[in-house]
Structure formats: structure tokens, C-alpha cells
Chains A and B, each alone.
Chain A
Amino acid sequence: MKADPKNVLTGSHYLDGNYACAEGAIAAGCKFFGGYPITPSTEIAERVSQRFPLLGGVFIQMEDELASMASILGSSWGGVKSMSCTSGPGFSLMMENFGLGIMLETPCVLVNVQRGGPSTGLPTLPGQADMMQARWGSHGDYEVIALAPDSPQESFELVIHAFNLSEKYRMPVLVMTDECVGHMTEKVVIPPAEEIELLERKYTDKKPGEALPFEPTSDGVSPMIPIGKGHKFHITGLTHDYRGYPVINAETQEKNVRRLIDKVNMHADEIIWLEEKDVEDAEVVIMAYGISSRVIQPAVAKARKEGIKIGQIKMVTVWPFPEKRVRELAGKVKSLIMVEMNYGQVFLEMDRCAAGKCRTYLVGHAGGTVHNAVDVYNTIKEAVK
């Protein structure tokens, strides 16, 4: 299905990353946005509130982030593409109902414009220290999908992609941007609507009485069950069976949680999106995501110019983690480097998958600004030894 031209602001614009997120959501057909103001994500909500009235969408500023997240789950079950955005403390508050979204297998998109933490931290400065919270922030076992844009252009594109993934795998999808990207203004090229491919929600084709909200399927993803069509279905955040009925025992728990994990793992190769450069002959591979993947470029270029065989992997998706690829590379290279604005979060996954087969380095800091080239370059020099 193609995007509706009414929703697409085709042309070249000078937009910040937050506005670009909003335009991506609108182009993707988002028609409900429940949000709560928090720096540095607020411009997404502002743009949506400004654009929605004439597009038939509803923006509602909820009383808090708990309610924002709950409201987008409700509207998604009402059949409407839904999104929220937040930062820092708001992300913590949303974790409760993010878990409900995972459990009810509810398509929706949540953008976290990361700032420095913990607690109130650095409201106006960037960080990437919510990556493990994105992975594990709600209680219990589950898999997530998280994308990390490095520019306003990618913010636009990845929000659309996030909506498609959320419909395809029937789950909330995270877009983990940061203050730097969110508040950075650059050229954003919005293509014509007919060039924007959207995935429609898959609904069950079974009749009321036969359809199940969590129908087992070969690809692990159950089609959604529509509201108001006589199915009279029940869904619950409790551990449930295929019918959606709560069943409180270990056997049902195993099936329920396995489905949440398997549907992502089974499709990990399809979901994982890496942009690799010069990796084939590399002695050292540098990995990064979001803004960090961009600011390392001058240091990498300098090292390459000096004859260091360095390859790079930009992780467009951070979760699920590219476990297979990192294991492969660990057997071939001297070192793997992770650059991120935290003190080692995604690094831990890289290090785990390297499993001692190569050296691993973290270029990390507590946030507040992006990495400088010198730190990155020095680590490359060390890693190639």
C-alpha cells in the first residue's frame, strides 16, 4: 500500500530531527498521538498537534507518560496507527505500558529522543544511555525492535520503517534518537507519496467464534483481531493462551513468552539492518549507531588514510542485536570497537558476542555532547596494535 498523498509533504525541507519524526509518522498514516511534553522530544508533539487537525488525526496531550503510552495502545486496538514520543524520565514512566504493548502484541511506535541521565540529568543535551532500558526496561522477558537515526532525513525514514515493522511483527517499535539529532536542522527530502511503501495491518480472515487474538501461525506473528466486528475477543496483560484468556501456569507462560521472543528472533535476519563499509579486509571494525555512527567518520577516514585497515558497521537497528554478524567478525578481526554516548551498553552485547575471540574496545562517555574525533582515533590506533 502506498502513502496517502494528503499526508505527505513531498519536497525538500529544512527540518530538525524532531519535526522529521513527526512528518514520518504523518506520512506513515499515523492518526493518533498521545503525548506529554518533555525536553528534548516536545517538538514532535508540537508538530503533530499543528498538522493533525486538517488531516483527520487526533493529538491529545495526556496527563502523563503513563497515560500517553496506555492511550496509544487503546487507539491501536481501535484500528488506528498510533505513536507517542518522550525522553529521559518519560521513557521510564512509559515502560509499564510498553510492556503491556509487548504482551498484547500491539502495533505502535514510540520515539525516545535520548538525553543525558540518570534521573532529570541533562534535559537539553544528548545521550545514548537508554539503550539497555529500551532492551530490558519493562519487567519480564521479551524481544524488542529499536532503530537509531543519525540525521533528520533518517528520522523521517526510520519512523515510517518503524510503523511498518510494528504492523508486520505486531508489536511496539522503538525509535531511539537523541537530542543532537532531534534538534539538528538539515535538509530532509520527502519523496512523493507513491514512493512511500506502507504495510497495512493484517487482520484475521476468520469468522467470529473461530478467530483467536493470538492465533498460532507458522511465521510466529498472529494476525490482529478487529474490534467491533462481533469477535467479542478478550485480551489481557496476564499470561494468556491463544484465546487471550488468562491461564496462570508455567506451561502457558512458556508458550506466551516464547511467542514474544520467537517472533522477533525468527525474523532477526530480516529485521536487522546494518550498513557496512570496508569490513571485508578489515583488521579493526568500528561499530556505532545513531549520531555516534556519524561523528566517528572523520577519525575513521584519517585512520584509513594512514593505512589502517578499518571497517565500519553502522547499526540502523540496534535491537535485535546483530549477534550472528558480530560472532563472525570476531573470528576474523583483531579488534571490535563500539562508540556510544554511554559507559558501555550495546558494547556489552558486542563484547559478549565477541566471546574472547578478538579484543573489544568501548569509546564511551556519560553524554552531554557527541564524541570527538581524537578519542575515536586514539582508540582505533590502540585497537589495531
Chain B
Amino acid sequence: MSVKVEELVREEHPMEKLLRMDRIPHIWCPTCGLGTTVTALAAALEQLELDLDNVAVVSGIGCTGRVAGYMKLDSFHTTHGRAIPFALGLHIARPDLKVIVFSGDGDLISIGGNHLIHTARRNVDLTVICVNNFIYAMTGGQVAPTTPITARSATSPYGNYEHPFNLPLLAASSGAVYVARWTALHVRRLTTAIKEAITKPGFSFVEVIAPCSTLYARLNKLGSGLDLMKFYHDNSVIRHGADLKEVDIDYQSKIAVGKFIDIEKPTYIDCMNEGGKRAFGDKYKPYGGGNGGN
């Protein structure tokens, strides 16, 4: 059977439906983990067969913060650390939309850390994808609350000596109902995790360990992005349901990955409606959105 040349040469990117092609090429470095992570999100959205008109992405600031600008969805590039509270407002106004927060470790965990824990506590129905590259990349490779002890950065030039956060433990103990961690190497598992997180009612948190070859790898002499991917391949240990106290990430040691938490809990809006009913009985109409429902 002969194959026509036109069928071999695709003129469009397979994810074109989900990407703003008029903004490509993107600003990310070669071998950055963000490309594969965005692809995982795109694949997840495609596989879920969601009406893409009803999906919104909110990002903060940083390399990962730029994701909102490349997804062909209603998308918001907000201020540093504030993606989650912005997304919360958006979600409450339009609970019918799927709101996904896609941002980095510095943005979500450091400057936005308070918002993360409180929004998880409230179990607001948001999906948070946190790309962790262990460093502030956009500003030139400074130490982050996720930088492993001894790792070098532009502001820990002699090696970091601060304890880093264990993100899955932080998210879970704050109240997240879905917590998973994968690396940028685990594209298919990551895609599944993002699908589950989006589908899950309540606050879902997916940590994605991703290589930053330009800064983290260079400052620590870890080779190229490819070398980091190889490192993930050799050192990731799948431990579904692991004791979260044991999933810390030490410098260049084993990385526990997997689905850690998947529980059922009423969402913020469920709880609000329950509270309204408790207080007002039948006089209270369940909240269905700021412009509809009531």
C-alpha cells in the first residue's frame, strides 16, 4: 500500500487546537521541562473531550507563568503568587468552568504559599499544576523554597542550607483531595494525573518535577536537560499512596512519584450550600454561579 507524501507531512502541530500557534516559538529554553508538561495538559484536555470553551487557565509569574499565554483557552497571566486567589474568584463567579492554575514552585509555594494552603483548606474546586524545577528560573536561577539542601543557585552560591518544602505533604496536610507527583519524563502518567485532577471535584494538586537545564543543571554541573531526564528515569520510584512524610526530595537522590492522595470531601461551594441550608432551610437557594442559578 502506497502512502501519499502529503499524509506524511503534517502541516499542523498535533496540539494546534490547544496552542496559540501565533505565539510560537515560545520563550522557553531547549530541553526545558515545560514543553512536555504543557503537552501533558493538552493531551489531558483532549482525552477528557471537554468543551474547551469552558476551560480557563490562570498563571502567575515566572517561566511556568507563561503557560497561560500559550494555551488556546481563556487564559489569565496574573501577578506573582496570586494566580490561585484570582482563579478562586473566577471559579466562584463561574463554577461551570474548569479552572486550572498552572504555575511554578516559586510562584505557588513561596510568594503564593499562603494562598495555596488556604485555598486547599477551603477545598475550592481548582486544579493546581505546580512545575517544580527547584529554582527561580525566570529571574536567573535564585534559591527557591524547593531547592534541595546543598544545591547551588545564584543566591545560594555555596550550596543551599535551608530546608525545602515537601510539596505533596504541604498540599495534602492543607486539605487537597488529590495529590500526585510525576516528572516531566512520565508524560503518560502525568497526563493521567492531570485528567484525574481536572475531573476531581475539589482542590487537586499535581507536582511536576521538571528540568531546568539553563540554570539548575548548569549551576550544579548536572549536564544537559537530557541528562536530567535520564536522572529522573534512573531515580524515580513509583510509590502510590506513600507516606507523605517520606517523599522529601534530597539533592540528586531518589524521587518518590505517584498518586499520593485521592479522597472525597465536599467542595467549598458544597459546604457553602450546606451552610446556607443549615441557616435558612428552604429559603436558601443553592449557589449556582454569580450570574445564573439564583
Q: Do chains A and B touch in the complex (CB under 8 A)?
A: yes
Asked whether A31 is an interface residue with its Cβ less than 8 Å from the other chain, the reply is yes
Contacts of B73 in A (CB 8 A): 232
Are B82 and A32 in contact, CB atoms less than 8 angstroms apart?
Answer: no
Q: What is the bound-complex CA distance between A255 and B109, given in angstroms?
A: 34
Cβ contact within 8 Å between B82 and A70: yes
Q: Contacts A74-B88, A76-B89, A77-B90 known; A237 to B77 CB distance under 8 Å?
A: yes
- Contact B77–A235 (Cβ < 8 Å): yes
Q: Are B88 and A71 in contact (CB under 8 A)?
A: yes
Task: Tell whether, in the assembled complex, residue A227 and residue B114 are in contact, meaning their CB atoms are under 8 Å apart.
Answer: no
How many A-B pairs have beta carbons closer than 8 Å: the answer is: 157
- Residues of B60-93 whose CB lies within 8 A of A: 68-69, 72-79, 81-82, 84-93
Q: Is B217 an interface residue (CB 8 A)?
A: no
Q: Give the interface size bracket for B toward A.
A: 35 or more
Contact present for A71 and B86 (CB under 8 Å): yes
Q: Shortest CB–CB separation between residue B63 and chain A, in angstroms?
A: 14
Question: Contact at A67–B114, with CB atoms within 8 Å?
Answer: yes
CA of A32 to CA of B92 in the docked complex: distance in angstroms? 8
A74 touching B89, Cβ below 8 Å: yes
B90 and A75: CB pair below 8 A? yes
CB atoms of A58 and B290 under 8 A apart: yes
Taking CB atoms, residues of chain A closer than 8 Å to B56 are 227-228
- For the complex, is B25 an interface residue (Cβ under 8 Å from A)? no
Looking across the interface, which residue of chain B has its beta carbon closest to that of A34?
B89
Would you call B118 an interface residue if the criterion is a C-beta within 8 Å of the partner chain's C-beta atoms?
Answer: yes
A230 CB within 8 Å of chain B = yes
- CB of A79 within 8 A of chain B? yes
Bound-state Cα–Cα, A53 to B20, Å: 40
Residues of B within 8 A of A (CB): 20, 23, 52-54, 56, 58, 68-69, 72-79, 81-82, 84-94, 96-97, 114-115, 118, 272, 276, 279-280, 283-285, 287, 290-291, 293-294
**CB pairs A–B below 8 angstroms (24 shown):** A32-B290, A34-B89, A56-B285, A56-B293, A58-B290, A63-B85, A66-B85, A67-B115, A70-B82, A70-B86, A71-B88, A73-B89, A74-B86, A74-B87, A77-B76, A96-B82, A97-B79, A97-B82, A227-B90, A228-B94, A232-B74, A232-B75, A233-B74, A236-B77
Instruction: Report, nearest first, the 4 A-B pairs whose CB atoms are least far apart.
Output: A78-B93, A74-B89, A56-B294, A80-B290
Interface residues of A, Cβ cutoff 8 Å to B: 31-32, 34, 53-58, 60, 62-64, 66-68, 70-80, 82, 96-97, 99-100, 227-238, 245-246
Q: Besides the contacts A31-B93, A97-B82, what 5 more A-B pairs have beta carbons closer than 8 Å? A: A54-B284, A77-B90, A82-B89, A82-B93, A234-B20
